[in-house]
């Protein structure tokens, strides 16, 4: 059956700020407490969605989460009405306020892991929301993410929703940012690649020295098991601890796949030669041609340059004519990463072009093009069984642009997050968004 890949981008929310909350995320730490520009950020993200739509790629959207998130503050022991709670937490625990005000749900690559029906034993799409427990500001996203995913993929004959993994440090799960897939073509069976940073149960396993590894092997294995994936088409790869210490907090900063194409840095993985051999052996079960594995040597691009440019966080897209393009951040055009991109395009592989996008506001917080999207492969029948209020059509882009320009502030200082007036503004913006997209009441304040 013919299939298509959808990209569900996170719409950047009105509280976009630089709280510097993400340990191991170098841009986040570097820009802590800098002035942010939410209107510009949201328009930059929307422009990427619009251009992919114009290229013929089905484009979905995931609304921003409610921020500041007062239900989390109430669970933390703060009492009173909304204004009183905001004033108390601003005075007593500003970091907690920052954690409950982050717009990090924009990076939907961390929303969930999704396995297409072609790979699963029961031939249904399997969905597991990430628990994101390694970072406090992201751990509060999971409930709303689960709610939205169940709204989008509501039909039970085609979609299976698993609960997030238990909130235990042995099961730290960061979603699709640590999940890849190789297949001859969307809709065919594929080899699913799960990337982890550490073995929780094996103390002898290599570990980073500077930053903690966010994804555990145990979490990756649990997701693969619940998704009913065949072990013969499954590969687990461990991140190189050196990469994590260099700022590769998720695999999608150092490796990426699309259909039969795999682009990765020389220093991305441990046991690299053995793992690439395993991938090709398992891929050969359903393809007479080997997968196209392209390794970028450190002489071409150092690990530090890869992290700074976000080259490997480029979004790889198969166009309707079956050619591939890179959706790369503008930073790649002004660095040695451009030489690597040109080398890839000129090589013997499916990638034939590149489009550069200005995503500076997201990048300054540690998220490039691929961070902003959750990719989902669906058959035509499955596609017609999803909630199409979350699929963007031509009309939506103008409406959303007007919405952003009307409701988003030009700039935010982190001190603005203490303001009750700003809380009301943010809620008003989200309430209007649910009307534009015809979503009904999805937020706690509605």
The catalytic residue positions are: 174, 250, 371
Q: How far is CA 129 from CA 65, 159, 219, in A?
A: 15, 13, 12
Residue 196: enclosing H or E segment and its boundaries?
A: strand 191-196
Residues comprising the chain, all counted: 446
**Which residue's entry shows tokens 């002489």?**
299
Helix (H, G, I), strand (E, B) or coil at 204: coil
- Measured CA angle at 365 (ends 363, 367), to 5 deg: 50
User: How far apart, in whole angstroms, are the C-alpha atoms of residue 192 and residue 435?
Assistant: 38
Q: How far is CA 421 from CA 14, 86, 202, 418, 428, in A?
A: 13, 11, 50, 9, 11
User: How far apart, in whole angstroms, are the C-alpha atoms of residue 270 and residue 263?
Assistant: 16
**DSSP-derived pairing of the beta strands 191-196 and 234-238:** parallel
User: How far apart, in whole angstroms, are the C-alpha atoms of residue 268 and residue 176?
Assistant: 17
Closest to 94 measured CA to CA, from 113, 114, 68, 133: 68
């Amino acid at each position: 059956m013919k299939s298509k890949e959808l990209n569900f981008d996170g719409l950047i929310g009105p509280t976009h700020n630089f709280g510097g909350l993400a340990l191991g995320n170098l841009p986040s730490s570097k820009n802590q407490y800098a002035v942010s520009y939410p209107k510009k950020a949201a328009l930059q993200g929307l422009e990427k969605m619009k251009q992919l739509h114009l290229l013929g790629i089905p484009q979905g959207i995931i609304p921003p989460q409610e921020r500041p998130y007062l239900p989390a503050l109430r669970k933390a022991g703060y009492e009173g009405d909304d204004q009183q709670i905001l004033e108390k937490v601003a005075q007593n625990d500003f970091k907690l306020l920052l954690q409950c005000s982050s717009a990090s749900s924009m990076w939907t690559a961390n929303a969930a892991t999704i396995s297409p029906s072609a790979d699963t034993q029961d031939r249904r799409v399997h969905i597991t929301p990430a628990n994101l427990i390694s970072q406090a500001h992201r751990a509060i996203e999971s409930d709303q993410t689960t709610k939205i995913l169940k709204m989008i993929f509501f039909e039970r004959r085609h979609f299976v929703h698993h609960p997030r993994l238990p909130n235990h440090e042995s099961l730290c799960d960061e979603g699709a940012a640590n999940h890849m897939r190789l297949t001859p073509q969307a809709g065919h069976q594929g080899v699913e690649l799960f990337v982890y940073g550490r073995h929780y149960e094996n103390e002898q396993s290599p570990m980073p020295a500077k930053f903690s590894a966010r994804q555990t092997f145990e979490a990756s294995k649990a997701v693969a098991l619940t998704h009913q994936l065949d072990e013969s088409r499954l590969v687990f790869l461990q991140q190189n601890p050196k990469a994590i210490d260099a700022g590769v907090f998720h695999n999608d900063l150092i490796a990426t796949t699309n259909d039969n194409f795999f682009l990765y840095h020389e220093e991305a993985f441990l046991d690299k030669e053995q793992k690439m051999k395993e991938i090709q052996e398992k891929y050969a079960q359903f393809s007479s041609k080997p997968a196209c594995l392209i390794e970028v040597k450190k002489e071409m691009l150092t690990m530090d340059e890869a992290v700074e440019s976000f080259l490997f966080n480029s979004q790889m897209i198969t166009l309707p004519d079956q050619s591939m393009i890179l959706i790369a951040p503008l930073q790649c055009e002004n660095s040695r990463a451009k030489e690597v991109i040109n080398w890839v395009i000129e090589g013997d592989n499916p990638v034939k072009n590149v489009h550069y996008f200005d995503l500076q506001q997201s990048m300054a917080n540690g998220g490039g093009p691929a961070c902003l999207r959750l990719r989902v492969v669906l058959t035509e029948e499955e596609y017609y069984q999803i909630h199409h209020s979350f699929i963007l059509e031509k009309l939506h882009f103008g409406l959303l642009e007007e919405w952003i320009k009307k409701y988003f502030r030009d700039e935010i200082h982190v001190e603005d997050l203490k303001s009750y007036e700003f809380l009301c503004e943010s809620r008003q913006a989200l309430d209007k968004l649910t009307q534009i997209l015809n979503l009904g009441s999805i937020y706690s304040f509605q």
